[in-house]
């Protein structure tokens, strides 16, 4: 098992989530399918491709001191789980404002992994908002005065089927960059390879 740690600058708190990330070629496949939408809807707030992720647990704002508590149990969790086979598929939207691509493949195992991740977080004594897992990859948000772009783009993605890929790492991610009107920026706090047999 290998751990990657980013020792970048931290404030007193950090917004934290635990996630999976598609490989670059799977993201490129979806980006190619989105190219007409990028051109047609430049006012949408498109997420950076390098920030695309599948959230397993959103922990919200945590004191920086709480974050190291998560590292050993998440490392153990990754070491005991084998990679999942996933694919990006189709498109949809939340409330006509948030555009997403769906997740296909080992979705049952993905749900179990998310359950295990959430159990680990609770065992660390960290409270977080528990919401049912709806596996997806957030792509963009519409501006408040734009009620139709997201729905149109989601309809255009309905037939998209990406190639399957194995999940390689479990990521502990911080998003304390980009607060305010600027786009949110994510960075890995740490990540671990899936080494289970």
Q: Which residues are catalytic?
A: 53, 136
69: how many CB neighbours lie within 10 A of its CB?
16
The answer to whether 166 touches 106, Cβ cutoff 8 Å, is no
| Cα distances (angstroms) measured from residue 121 to each of 11, 111, 156 | 21, 15, 37
Question: Which residues of 95-145 form beta strands (DSSP E)?
Answer: 98-105, 136-141
The answer to whether 85 touches 113, Cβ cutoff 8 Å, is no
Work out whether strand 54-63 and strand 3-5 pair parallel, antiparallel, or are unpaired: unpaired
> Tell me, what DSSP letter sits at residue 81?
S
The answer to whether 79 touches 3, Cβ cutoff 8 Å, is no
């Amino acid at each position: 098992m290998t751990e990657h740690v980013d020792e970048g600058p931290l404030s007193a708190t950090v917004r934290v989530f635990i996630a999976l990330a598609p490989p670059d070629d799977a993201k490129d496949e979806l980006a190619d399918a989105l190219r007409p939408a990028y051109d047609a809807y430049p006012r949408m707030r498109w997420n950076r491709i390098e920030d695309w992720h599948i959230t397993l647990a959103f922990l919200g704002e945590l004191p920086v001191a709480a974050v190291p508590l998560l590292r050993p149990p998440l490392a153990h969790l990754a070491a005991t789980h084998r990679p999942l086979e996933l694919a990006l598929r189709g498109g949809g939207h939340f409330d006509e404002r948030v555009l997403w691509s769906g997740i296909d493949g080992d979705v049952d195992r993905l749900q179990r992994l998310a359950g295990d991740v959430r159990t680990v977080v609770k065992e660390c004594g960290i409270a977080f908002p528990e919401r049912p897992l709806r596996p997806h990859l957030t792509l963009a948000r519409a501006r408040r005065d734009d009620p139709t772009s997201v729905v149109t783009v989601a309809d255009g993605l309905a037939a998209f089927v990406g190639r399957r890929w194995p999940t390689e790492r479990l990521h502990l991610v911080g998003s304390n960059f980009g607060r305010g009107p600027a786009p949110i920026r994510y960075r890995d706090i740490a990540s671990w390879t899936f080494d289970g047999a």
